[in-house]
Chains A and B, each alone.
Chain A
Amino acid sequence: MQRRSREVDNMIPGVSDPVAAVEAARLCKIYDGKNVIDNLSLTIPVGGVFGLLGPNGAGKTTLMKIMAGLVRPTVGTLTIFGEDAVARKSDLKCKVGLAPQDNNMERELSVEETLTVYGRMFGVPQLKRRVEETIEEFSLGDMRRKVVRTLSGGMMRRALIARTLMPKPELLLLDEPTVGLDPDVRHEIWEIIRNLSSAGKTIVLTTHYMDEAEKLCEKIAILKAGRLAFLDTPEGIRNRFGGVDSNGEALETLFIQLAKEGRT
């Protein structure tokens, strides 16, 4: 019965057969004998912003990397848009984009070169035009010739998201996109995320900022020690844990409660 309601939740207009963006079933990743992802089953619906929260070491980044194809799961299955993420890894690479927590762009290339090189690797058609579009879309005009290592944190983050979007992925994985940024830059990134969500992209976001999760996400999952500890909508969380505005108060209460449970 629960499965049925999840499927109904996942339906999007124009899609008669509900296919989840991501479906993890009994997923495990073991590093040096430690279960970083521990028997995790989770469904992420198509469209909207899905928040992935949890304390440090909860397995959020590992899960993002598994979804992006950078890490192989030890056990279990993961499907992305209905396709096996391991067996069909190559086919899925154009559909999934990862903007990692740390900058992984070449330090000595300019922003324009970074976009061109990435687009070329993905076989983006009309590459020059796409680069110009992306530069305009992300207001990168002033820094197009700037070398990546000289960019500020906010500019770097914007360029990283822009690069990830060059091949127009359907599923966008943003690993702590606003960590360490000034409030005004955080708001800029939020605006980008909202626009992408409105454009129909499925976005999975990890963050340590509770207000950010409540403001941006339609559904929030909290991981703890590699397991799914909690899954609900921001409204559901507010109803259960108090708070009226999307200021992250209810989510923070829940987060602290879950953390305390682990210590006792």
Chain B
Amino acid sequence: MGWVAIYRREMLILTKKIGNMGYVFSTAISPFIYLFAFGLGLGDRVKVEGGYLPFLVSGIIGITVMMNSFQQTSSSVSVGKLYFHTFQSVVLSPVGNAAVVLGIVMAGVVRGLFFGALIFVMAWLFFGAGVLGSTGIVGMILGALCFSAMGTVVGLLVKHPDDVSLVNNFFITPMTFFGGSFFPLQNLPAGVGAVAGLFPIGSLNLLIRSSGWNGDSLAAAGILAGLTGAFFYWSVWLYSRYSE
């Protein structure tokens, strides 16, 4: 049960931040700006089945889950490893490799789901967003696991704190804008759309928007679960070879 010790460590540090309302507000403000700017600015012009606002709300929830899960683990590991050296205390502990990664990933999942749920509640209150179905809830959990594990890989890989922003610029930002969150992938040129279709955020959005379990939603869940497994295994391997 060593993973619980790591998870509780990460959560204690996270709750200290969440206890600071300024942190919660600043984290929630970006998705809200997206929601207002795109919802009010483009609302009438983007034609989507079922209306643009429900489409946008689900996309923003997907982005929020992705960004928060990823940032929690990537920054916790990279800053703790390279800047404050607090990650040393984890490495010095006898907790096993897989347990360390699981503890870190689970804390990322909690942050992703917390802010995802917060945005959903806000969208429900201000924009009358519909209730999420089982596919949406499973999608949020799998998405949080996938991006949290991806963040752990990045945190362990980077050799300099600035490298995390490179990953943000080359992977997270393109996924934010070309992952089907703000407009359907069909609106993109065929080639670009095909590449964007490979982004895991696309699978997360598909699950959040899906009305029930079918071939597409099962495939999307399978992709997220497979990627989670791959990132998790990669993280364990990287951690087992940790050396300063």
User: Using Cβ atoms and an 8 Å threshold, which residues of chain B touch A93?
Assistant: 92-94
Distance in angstroms from A259 CB to nearest chain B CB is: 27
User: Using Cβ atoms and an 8 Å threshold, which residues of chain A touch B96?
Assistant: 90
Q: Is the CB–CB distance between B243 and A121 below 8 Å? A: no
Q: Is the CB–CB distance between A71 and B84 below 8 Å? A: no
User: Which of the candidate stretches B5-13, B127-135, B169-177 sits at the interface with the other chain?
Assistant: B5-13
Interface size grouping (class) on chain B: 20 to 34
Which residues of chain A from 39 to 93 have a CB within 8 Å of any chain B CB? 65, 68-72, 90-91, 93
Q: Is the CB–CB distance between B92 and A123 below 8 Å? A: no
Distance in angstroms from A113 CB to nearest chain B CB is: 6
Distance in angstroms from B244 CB to nearest chain A CB is: 5
Q: Is the CB–CB distance between B86 and A105 below 8 Å? A: yes
Docked pose: A63 CA to B88 CA in angstroms: 15
Give the residue name and chain of the B residue nearest to A163 (CB). B89
Q: Is the CB–CB distance between A71 and B92 below 8 Å? A: no
User: Using Cβ atoms and an 8 Å threshold, which residues of chain B touch A104?
Assistant: 84-86, 88-89
Given contacts A65-B244, A72-B243, A90-B96, 12 further A-B contacts (CB under 8 A): A72-B241, A94-B94, A104-B84, A109-B16, A113-B12, A117-B5, A120-B5, A121-B2, A121-B6, A121-B94, A123-B94, A163-B89
Which residues of chain B from 85 to 132 have a CB within 8 Å of any chain A CB? 85-86, 88-96
Give the residue name and chain of the A residue nearest to B85 (CB). A104
Docked pose: A108 CA to B244 CA in angstroms: 24
Docked pose: A105 CA to B85 CA in angstroms: 8
Q: Is the CB–CB distance between B85 and A122 below 8 Å? A: no
A-B contact pairs, 23 of them (CB 8 A): A70-B88, A72-B241, A91-B94, A98-B92, A100-B85, A102-B85, A104-B84, A104-B88, A104-B89, A105-B86, A106-B86, A106-B89, A107-B84, A107-B86, A109-B12, A109-B13, A113-B12, A117-B9, A120-B9, A121-B89, A121-B90, A121-B93, A123-B5
Number of residues from A at the complex interface, CB < 8 A: 28
A255 within 8 A of B: no
B interface footprint on A243-256 (CB within 8 Å = 1, 0 otherwise): 00000000000000
User: Using Cβ atoms and an 8 Å threshold, which residues of chain B touch A71?
Assistant: 243-244
User: Using Cβ atoms and an 8 Å threshold, which residues of chain B touch A72?
Assistant: 241, 243
A190 within 8 A of B: no
A230 within 8 A of B: no
Q: Is the CB–CB distance between B13 and A108 below 8 Å? A: yes
A118 within 8 A of B: yes
Docked pose: A109 CA to B88 CA in angstroms: 16
Give the residue name and chain of the B residue nearest to A74 (CB). B243
User: Using Cβ atoms and an 8 Å threshold, which residues of chain B touch A65?
Assistant: 244
Q: Is the CB–CB distance between B9 and A121 below 8 Å? A: yes
User: Using Cβ atoms and an 8 Å threshold, which residues of chain B touch A107?
Assistant: 84, 86
User: Using Cβ atoms and an 8 Å threshold, which residues of chain B touch A105?
Assistant: 86, 89
Docked pose: A72 CA to B93 CA in angstroms: 16
Which residues of chain B from 175 to 197 have a CB within 8 Å of any chain A CB? none
Q: Is the CB–CB distance between A70 and B13 below 8 Å? A: no
- Which 6 A-B pairs give the minimum distances between C-beta atoms? A121-B93, A93-B94, A72-B243, A104-B85, A120-B5, A121-B5
User: Using Cβ atoms and an 8 Å threshold, which residues of chain B touch A109?
Assistant: 12-13, 16
User: Using Cβ atoms and an 8 Å threshold, which residues of chain B touch A108?
Assistant: 13, 16-17
User: Using Cβ atoms and an 8 Å threshold, which residues of chain B touch A70?
Assistant: 88, 91-92, 243-244
User: Using Cβ atoms and an 8 Å threshold, which residues of chain B touch A113?
Assistant: 12
Of the candidates A68, A91, A106, the one whose C-beta lies within 8 Å of that of B92 is A68
Of the candidates B85, B89, B241, the one whose C-beta lies within 8 Å of that of A118 is B89
Docked pose: A65 CA to B91 CA in angstroms: 11
Q: Is the CB–CB distance between B88 and A100 below 8 Å? A: yes
Q: Is the CB–CB distance between A106 and B13 below 8 Å? A: yes
A interface footprint on B11-30 (CB within 8 Å = 1, 0 otherwise): 01100110000000000000
Docked pose: A163 CA to B9 CA in angstroms: 14
Q: Is the CB–CB distance between A122 and B88 below 8 Å? A: no
Docked pose: A123 CA to B2 CA in angstroms: 8
Docked pose: A121 CA to B92 CA in angstroms: 9
B interface footprint on A117-153 (CB within 8 Å = 1, 0 otherwise): 1101111000000000000000000000000000000
